Chains A and B, each alone.
Chain A
Amino acid sequence: MNKERLVLVGNGMAGMRTIEELLKLEPDLYEITVFGAEPHPNYNRILLSPVLSGEKTIDEIILNSRDWYAEHGITLHTGDPVEHIDRRKRLVRSRSGLEVPYDRLILATGSNPFIIPVPGADLPGVLGYRDIADVEAMIETARGFKRAIVIGGGLLGLEAAYGLQQQGMEVTVVHLLDTLMERQLDKPAAALLKASLEKRGLTFLMEAQTAAIQGRDRVESVRFADGSEIATDLVVMAVGIRPNMALAQSAGIHCERGIVVDDTMLTYDARIYAIGECVQHRGHCYGLVAPLFEQAKVCANHLAKLGYGRYQGSVTSTKLKVTGIDLFSAGQYQGGDGCEEILFQDPGAGIYKKLVIRENRLAGAVLYGDTIDGAWFFQLMREGTDISEIREDLLFGQAHLGDSGHGGQTQAALMTDAMQVCDCNGVCKGEIVKAITSKGLFTLEDVKLHTKAAASCGSCTGLVEQILASTLGSDYSTPEAKPICTCTDYSHDQVRAAIREQHLTSLSDCFEKLDWRRPDGCHVCRPALNYYLISTWPTEALDDSQSRFVNERVHANIQKDGTYSVIPRIFGGETSPAQLRAIAEAAEKYAVRSVKITGGQRIDLLGLTKEQLPHIWKDLTDAGFVSGHAYGKSMRTVKTCVGSQWCRFGVQDSTKMGIELEELTWGSWTPHKFKLAVSGCPRNCAEATCKDIGVVCVDSGYEISVAGAAGMDVRETEFLCKVTTEAEVMEVIAAFTQLYRENARYLHRIYKWVARVGLDWCRAQVEDPANRRALYDRFMLSQGVYQTDPWAELAATPADWAPIADLTLRAAE
């Protein structure tokens, strides 16, 4: 069977990203032909400014080499633009006369720099700033001439001006308005930027309207509307871009400001898609790379005949690529009706920050001089996080919220290449930067895949995003709702909702109904899906142990040498001579290599082989122990102090309460591990205020607080409610645990989840008596199924844990 023919017009970033996304989904569906007007293979247009300033070479910014096209069986015609589309015969004709038929066509014709229609605009020495040819012409001019004028004080104009100055020219920037970068900055930030650029030697002419460009053989001067003139050897027009829709218009495809497309990137002709800077989607035209990549993903999804991708527009952010100037802008930075602004100004230090808040959500941000939190603010904006809880500290950044270690995003730009970013996988900044530039990476996911940075615990994610942003200069690609993994385009929340609404009860249901790309998923999605299934349908879904990580499948903790550790449950941390004797005997019998008291008030037996596990479990369960679930995304421990039974300060019996809480909650699977503590008085010896859920006993009852942490992040719990009876403590904690189980994303600790949904929402859910009771009942229903001891069950079949065959004996014979 002949393959369908796909033709791409426009060999730029948006079009080629679509092809790459398509190849990932369906490598063999189409015979692909690509036409490009420029003589180069696809390159990274957003890195043109570093090429102009001499910080990079053209070879360094090539994204897909000619070999790449050949390897993927793609026919590439460079330097040969398509000039005609015959929609009836379904073919395109190029300038050289080549005719290629298509079944589907993608228009990715990009944009043209807007050239102001003044006399002399066609003189030699007048350039736009758009492609490699423009950059080469500018560098060439800088070799023989001295003076340059850049018309346009926007992002592109300033980058061009900086680059020309780095090439040794004297540069004047001419701007029509009184504010630089008015599309991204408010006045105070723009004033700081202007002062800083002036210090670097750029000259500005504000509120100046260009009237004519003068010269005989090439440009010699620019005349302004007020009659003044400035002599120059080069004029760069950087006053904006216009979607390049001439080809589409000539073919009769509906265009307004750009080629009009729907949410699937389809034009009014059902065989023709359009993507990138040439399109108009829901009234918007985008000129930044992140939206184009999101569009590419959707377009590829439809070309692959999957048919469920939908583009709904983008929130964009900008960063100026001028070395040494930190500037970040995103969202509705100007504010407006119903918006509040939080401001910080330190003109002396050259720092200005403005956050725009609407309905307790971050709507926009402008940062100048200190952009460390840009990526974090942008994330809060995209995810629509409720910021009312952190509002007071918001402006001071993530570091101020109490993150220890790398959560605080120590200035990525100031780090040296040798400094370690990801402590889990030992990745230095230099390796990340090298991977980004040499392999053409744009997304956090790409960086994780290629370098393993941020791929383990994720605490350096913010830092890695910052390195991405500072390396790529301009915006980088971060999809709004991240898919669980590459098996699907659905996010965690979407999958969880589908499982609930469509009553999916098995992994194969999910794979089938949600169009999973791989027949049995991968190691990323399967554990998450398994959790969502068993937590949503505890009595119906079957727990799939093959979709669990090793520790949860083997019910022990794997160690670096492949041996395991075993921790029996010691309820509330209170033990007895008989229990200790049983542990000691087991430790001796199996020659345990280490016996360690854990932070959760219990005892860890380390260095056991897999074969030994069912045997030691049998001994421990015979002595009355159950599994401590120290290995699971599950309830771990309830730490206690001795409380009123012994302590002269204790006001309630915290040990007894801890034991009862542990008896209530053990065995429950949760999105991530989950620890409790009960302190018998406000002296808080059980450290209850840095646990996922903590109870502090007071004279008049019990204070329950939640969302603490004492790991990668250190956080104090936040007050949830106060109750007067033990029974209420049990009900509130079971209900809150169930709320967490039903709503948090897999692998989110309670504090991360609460930060997303807001503590007020959580409190409202458990304060309502009927709702609290319903949550409690659902928790107990699940416990009826899952509060069983896996050790007792698995100890019955020790043969399953041994090697299936031993060939060493045979060889010895």
Chain B
Amino acid sequence: MTAFLDIAALDDIPRQGARVVKTMIGCIAVFRTAEDQLFALEDRCPHKGGPLSEGIVHGTSVTCPLHAWVFDMNTGQAQGADEGAVQTYPVRLEAGRVLLDVTRLARRSAA
């Protein structure tokens, strides 16, 4: 089951940038690529906890601002020689609005 929640307008998020959503399980970074694709990732690098929302977005990847780990935003997997992953969350664009699936966020807070 999914529950998409309208969190913002697309234009609230800068191209090749991100904005943060505060949740009960920590911050989630919602990214917008140069091609206007959206991705939602846990805003915490598995290496040293860097905020991925402040990283440089290139293609569908983001580079952690602290030690330059690169993550594929499609899968949340670290790229290249680094090993690790961040949680990804379904997000979609509808009529210029950004909808985030909050199912897993709610479940955790209910538990």
A: residues with CB less than 8 A from B are 425, 449-452, 455-456, 518-523, 526-527, 546-547, 549-550, 553-554, 558, 560-562, 803-808, 811
| 25 contacting pairs across A/B (C-beta < 8 A) | A449-B81, A451-B81, A452-B67, A455-B68, A522-B56, A522-B63, A523-B58, A546-B14, A546-B17, A546-B56, A550-B55, A554-B54, A558-B51, A803-B20, A803-B27, A804-B8, A805-B8, A807-B21, A807-B23, A807-B105, A808-B22, A808-B23, A808-B24, A811-B23, A811-B105
Report if B73 contacts A (CB, 8 A): no
A562 and B81 CA atoms in complex are apart in Å by 24
The 9 closest A-B pairs by CB, nearest first: A523-B63, A550-B65, A804-B19, A546-B16, A523-B56, A450-B81, A805-B7, A550-B54, A811-B109
Mark each residue of chain B from 57 to 73: 1 if its CB lies under 8 Å from any CB of chain A, else 0.
Answer: 11101010111101000
Given contacts A804-B7, A807-B22, contact A526 B67 (CB under 8 A): no
Of the listed residues B8, B19, B27, B106, the one surrounded by the most CB atoms of chain A closer than 10 A to its CB is B19
> What is the interface size of chain B, counting residues whose CB is below 8 A from a CB of the partner?
42
A298 and B37 CA atoms in complex are apart in Å by 35
User: What's the nearest-Cβ distance from chain B to residue A32, in Å?
Assistant: 24
Please determine whether B34 and A803 come into contact, CB atoms closer than 8 angstroms.
no
A807 and B103 CA atoms in complex are apart in Å by 12
Closest to B51 in A: A562
Report if B15 contacts A (CB, 8 A): yes
Closest to A559 in B: B66
A425 CB contacts on chain B under 8 angstroms: 67
User: What's the nearest-Cβ distance from chain B to residue A422, in Å?
Assistant: 12
User: What's the nearest-Cβ distance from chain A to residue B74, in Å?
Assistant: 15
User: What's the nearest-Cβ distance from chain A to residue B98, in Å?
Assistant: 8
Report if B96 contacts A (CB, 8 A): no
A355 and B55 CA atoms in complex are apart in Å by 46
Closest to B20 in A: A803
Knowing that A455-B68, A804-B13 touch, tell me 8 more A-B residue pairs with CB under 8 angstroms: A425-B67, A519-B34, A522-B58, A546-B14, A803-B27, A804-B30, A807-B24, A807-B105
B55 CB contacts on chain A under 8 angstroms: 523, 550
B100 CB contacts on chain A under 8 angstroms: 805
Of the listed residues A450, A521, A546, A807, the one surrounded by the most CB atoms of chain B closer than 10 A to its CB is A807
B56 CB contacts on chain A under 8 angstroms: 522-523, 526-527, 546-547, 549
A450 and B82 CA atoms in complex are apart in Å by 7
Please determine whether B15 and A546 come into contact, CB atoms closer than 8 angstroms.
yes
Please determine whether B54 and A558 come into contact, CB atoms closer than 8 angstroms.
yes
User: What's the nearest-Cβ distance from chain A to residue B86, in Å?
Assistant: 15
A272 and B54 CA atoms in complex are apart in Å by 48
B51 CB contacts on chain A under 8 angstroms: 558, 562
Closest to B43 in A: A562
Please determine whether B12 and A523 come into contact, CB atoms closer than 8 angstroms.
no
Please determine whether A562 and B59 come into contact, CB atoms closer than 8 angstroms.
no
B15 CB contacts on chain A under 8 angstroms: 546
Please determine whether B58 and A804 come into contact, CB atoms closer than 8 angstroms.
no
B66 CB contacts on chain A under 8 angstroms: 558, 560
Given contacts A549-B56, A804-B8, contact A523 B22 (CB under 8 A): no
Given contacts A519-B34, A547-B56, A804-B8, contact A811 B24 (CB under 8 A): yes
Given contacts A522-B58, A560-B48, A562-B49, contact A804 B68 (CB under 8 A): no
A452 CB contacts on chain B under 8 angstroms: 67, 81
Report if B85 contacts A (CB, 8 A): no
A811 and B102 CA atoms in complex are apart in Å by 10
Given contacts A805-B21, A805-B22, contact A518 B59 (CB under 8 A): yes
B34 CB contacts on chain A under 8 angstroms: 519-520
Report if B46 contacts A (CB, 8 A): no
A562 CB contacts on chain B under 8 angstroms: 49-51
A527 and B81 CA atoms in complex are apart in Å by 22
A549 CB contacts on chain B under 8 angstroms: 56, 65
User: What's the nearest-Cβ distance from chain A to residue B38, in Å?
Assistant: 12
Please determine whether A526 and B58 come into contact, CB atoms closer than 8 angstroms.
yes
A803 CB contacts on chain B under 8 angstroms: 19-22, 27
Please determine whether B54 and A519 come into contact, CB atoms closer than 8 angstroms.
no
User: What's the nearest-Cβ distance from chain B to residue A732, in Å?
Assistant: 36
Closest to A450 in B: B81
Closest to A804 in B: B19
B58 CB contacts on chain A under 8 angstroms: 518, 520-523, 526
A560 CB contacts on chain B under 8 angstroms: 48, 66
A549 and B70 CA atoms in complex are apart in Å by 14
User: What's the nearest-Cβ distance from chain A to residue B32, in Å?
Assistant: 10
A804 CB contacts on chain B under 8 angstroms: 7-8, 12-13, 19-21, 30
User: What's the nearest-Cβ distance from chain A to residue B51, in Å?
Assistant: 5
A522 and B66 CA atoms in complex are apart in Å by 16
User: What's the nearest-Cβ distance from chain A to residue B63, in Å?
Assistant: 4
User: What's the nearest-Cβ distance from chain B to residue A806, in Å?
Assistant: 4
User: What's the nearest-Cβ distance from chain B to residue A546, in Å?
Assistant: 4
B68 CB contacts on chain A under 8 angstroms: 455, 523
A546 and B34 CA atoms in complex are apart in Å by 10
B5 CB contacts on chain A under 8 angstroms: 807
A804 and B18 CA atoms in complex are apart in Å by 10
A450 CB contacts on chain B under 8 angstroms: 81
